[in-house]
């Protein structure tokens, strides 16, 4: 798996055991201006591993992207407050890095206690539960 960043000032971390490069870089600007970056606690590697283990679709995305000789990107912008929810959420942007641009696949929100996963519904702009997202067939 190849991961890359689009921000040259981002910190790049390499895992020598499997050749993965992960970047902690700002995610794309939120469509909800009330979102507030509160703090950064989990590393992008931890969040990427958590999503890969708990959201089967993420592994499928990685495989599809890599089979096209593209690179997978994961961005985490820290903990956010989502106005219609209680608690704080990590936002994890998953995309594909092409030669001249990055394509967003999905943005997931993982609760600070790592017990809830929400998905940004690109059609409605709502943050829906993982189960609701799957029911809608939006993956």
pLDDT per residue as tens digits for the range 21-79: 344 444 444 444 455 555 557 788 888 889 989 999 988 888 888 888 888 888 888 88
d(CA 5, CA 128): 27
Is the full-model pTM beyond 0.85?
Answer: no
d(CA 139, CA 122): 10
Report angle CA 138, 20, 38 to the nearest 5 degrees: 65
pLDDT digits (tens, 9 = 90+) for 86-118: 889 999 988 888 888 888 888 999 999 999 999
d(CA 89, CA 117): 9
Q: Pick the closest to residue 101 from 25, 6, 9 (CA basis).
A: 6
Residue 3 confidence (pLDDT) above 80: no
């Amino acid at each position: 798996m190849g991961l890359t960043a689009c921000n040259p000032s981002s910190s790049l971390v390499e895992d020598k055991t499997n050749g993965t490069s992960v970047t902690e870089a700002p995610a794309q600007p939120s469509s909800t201006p009330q979102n507030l970056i509160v703090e950064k606690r989990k590393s992008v590697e931890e969040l990427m591993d958590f999503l890969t283990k708990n959201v089967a679709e993420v592994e499928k995305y990685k495989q599809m992207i890599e089979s096209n000789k593209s690179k997978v990107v994961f961005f985490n912008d820290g903990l956010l407050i989502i106005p219609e929810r209680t608690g704080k959420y990590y936002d994890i942007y998953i995309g594909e890095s092409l030669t001249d641009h990055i394509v967003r696949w999905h943005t997931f929100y993982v609760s600070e206690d790592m017990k809830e996963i929400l998905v940004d519904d690109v059609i409605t702009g709502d943050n829906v539960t993982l189960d609701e997202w799957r029911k809608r067939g939006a993956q």
